Amino acid sequence: MSTTTVKQLTGEERFRNIISHAKEYGFIFQSSEIYDGLSAVYDYGQMGVELKKNLREYWWKAMVQLNENIVGIDAAIFMHPTTWKASGHVDAFNDPLIDNKDSKKRYRADVLIEDHVAKIEGKINKEVEKARARFADFDEAMFRSTNARVLENQQKIDQINTLFKDAMEANDLEGVRQLIIDLEITCAVSGTRNWTDVRQFNLMFSTQLGSVTEDSSTIYLRPETAQGIFVNFLNVQKTGRMKIPFGIAQTGKAFRNEIVARQFIFRMREFEQMEMQFFVKPGTELDWYEQWKATRMAWHRSLGFPESRYRFHDHIKLAHYANAACDIEFEFPFGFKELEGIHSRTDFDLRNHEQFSGRKQQYFDPEENENYIPYVVETSIGLDRLFLATLSEAYTEEVLEDGSTRTVLRIPAFLAPYKVAVLPLVKKDGLPEKARDIMNRLKLDHLCLYEEKDSIGKRYRRMDAIGTPLCVTVDHQTLEDGMVTVRDRDTMVQERIAIESLAAKLQDKVSLQRQLLCLI
């Protein structure tokens, strides 16, 4: 086996390379690119759609197939407008915005402040790195708690965070503007501090239902899939004879008019969520919350990425409807960011739907012999963020023993877009026909790729670049002894095996069942 070295890239280089790789190999394209694109909207290409489908399927099977008390639905994107009044989105789903009067550029006030804090954090990190390089027996915790410059900067950060949090809690938008001015934050385009007032901006997209001239009414593109689950709670409970505790899962598009759209598919205006609402008896919700935290973290870890890439971030300031909440954060190339949210949402949503619709949203508990509005624990993950996490972790640039380089996507084999490539060594002598014959045997069970163009080495590199776990090469010897070469994407090891053993070998390599077994 040849030895390889993984190229060390900075987070920024890595992220840039991942974005261009995603485009070059048909994973992600900018939306309507021929018209110069649409900001924060992306299309999934021929490879991307497969990886996304496989990620969605893994989530769905882990949630619905492995749990007898969870069922799925597929609610419409459009919902009655009162839904969003009841959920609180019409009144409170806002971002604070501020414009620079000189450049006319619009910013999210909280992001301006966050970026300022990040700069101060950068200074602290530099101090730490300098000291680490200087002292062999460096103790980071000790250094952070004693170094004067670090302490001073940490104090600044704490003070800014408190001022911002207090102003937002009091809906004191003038206070937020004053903080931006006091911190001397400038516009990145004009370089000036000529700021407008801060105002709240609702993130929901609206449109008209029906003809505009006649009885049209304003409806919204859903900003979360969860409400489709809440309004169907009793439909599912009754028709499915579900007993509490039980869950309803759903995957689907959600839409938010994000003002600061950046970091590729991390923050999009149209994205996909995979959500599950778990309905429980009041008083038991915090136990279930802990259980779902552990279950979801175990699911993430089952993907096989390093444990150090994940952490919980508990919400200190809770939304008014929650009595516990946390994020599962993932270390993207641009740092730790939210990948999934787990929220104990109390009975807020069902109670409000009961009030706004005038229809009871209660469950009769036969064991307790009483009616109640269930409490809800929600798990909510963005499929596009999961896709980005997978791509970020899989993307590897390697220098091989002979000095050549290869880019390989080490996507977990069961998630790979194509599971196997079948490659005739040359385009003649009956090899393509034999390869097609093998392909026909495998393609009933797996997505396979047939490729005869270019040298075999180039084809292997291309398969590495799209993350195909196995390549099967058909050569002249195959016609005589019925054996093929199987090459492994990760190790590049090649072995000769009989065509009859191929299906079993492939199934073993990409088995979703074995993966699911780890979760039971």
Residues near ligand GAP (CB under 6 A) = 224, 226, 256, 258, 267-268, 271, 273, 275, 338-341, 378, 380-382, 384-385
CA distance to 297, 317, 346, per residue, from 326 (Å) = 12, 10, 14
The Cα 27–Cα 20 span in angstroms is 10
- For ligand GAP, which residue has the nearest CB? 382
Query: Closest separation between CB of residue 273 and ligand GAP, Å?
Result: 5
288: left (phi over 0), alpha (psi -120 to 50) or beta: alpha
Nearer to ligand GAP among residue 376 and residue 425 (C-beta):
376
> What separation, in Å, do the N-terminal and C-terminal C-alpha atoms of the chain show?
35
Nearer to ligand GAP among residue 185 and residue 268 (C-beta):
268
Query: Closest separation between CB of residue 384 and ligand GAP, Å?
Result: 5
Strand-pairing partners, residue 310, are: 330
Nearer to ligand GAP among residue 144 and residue 337 (C-beta):
337
The Cα 174–Cα 108 span in angstroms is 14
Nearer to ligand GAP among residue 255 and residue 395 (C-beta):
255
Chain Cα centroid distance, residue 243: 31
Nearer to ligand GAP among residue 202 and residue 380 (C-beta):
380
Nearer to ligand GAP among residue 292 and residue 418 (C-beta):
292
Nearer to ligand GAP among residue 329 and residue 488 (C-beta):
329
Query: Closest separation between CB of residue 197 and ligand GAP, Å?
Result: 25
- The answer to whether the beta carbons of residues 109 and 96 sit under 8 Å apart is yes
Query: Closest separation between CB of residue 251 and ligand GAP, Å?
Result: 11
CA angle 188, 194, 197 (to 5 degrees): 110
- The answer to whether the beta carbons of residues 279 and 244 sit under 8 Å apart is yes
Nearer to ligand GAP among residue 384 and residue 393 (C-beta):
384
Query: Closest separation between CB of residue 267 and ligand GAP, Å?
Result: 4
Query: Closest separation between CB of residue 255 and ligand GAP, Å?
Result: 9
> What is the DSSP code string of 113-174?
HHHHHHHHHHHHHHHHHHHHHH-TT--HHHHHHH-HHHHHHHHHHHHHHHHHHHHHHTT-HH
Query: Closest separation between CB of residue 378 and ligand GAP, Å?
Result: 6
Chain Cα centroid distance, residue 78: 23
Nearer to ligand GAP among residue 177 and residue 353 (C-beta):
353
Query: Closest separation between CB of residue 151 and ligand GAP, Å?
Result: 33
Nearest to 285 by CA among 227, 340, 336, 344: 344
Query: Closest separation between CB of residue 324 and ligand GAP, Å?
Result: 14
Residue 248: phi, psi to the nearest 5? -125, 130
The Cα 213–Cα 60 span in angstroms is 42
Nearer to ligand GAP among residue 259 and residue 439 (C-beta):
259
The Cα 110–Cα 82 span in angstroms is 29
> What is the DSSP code string of 404-432?
-EEEEE---GGG-S-SEEEEESSSSTTHH
Query: Closest separation between CB of residue 414 and ligand GAP, Å?
Result: 22
Q: In what order do the strands lie in the sheet with 94-99?
A: 106-108, 94-99, 199-202
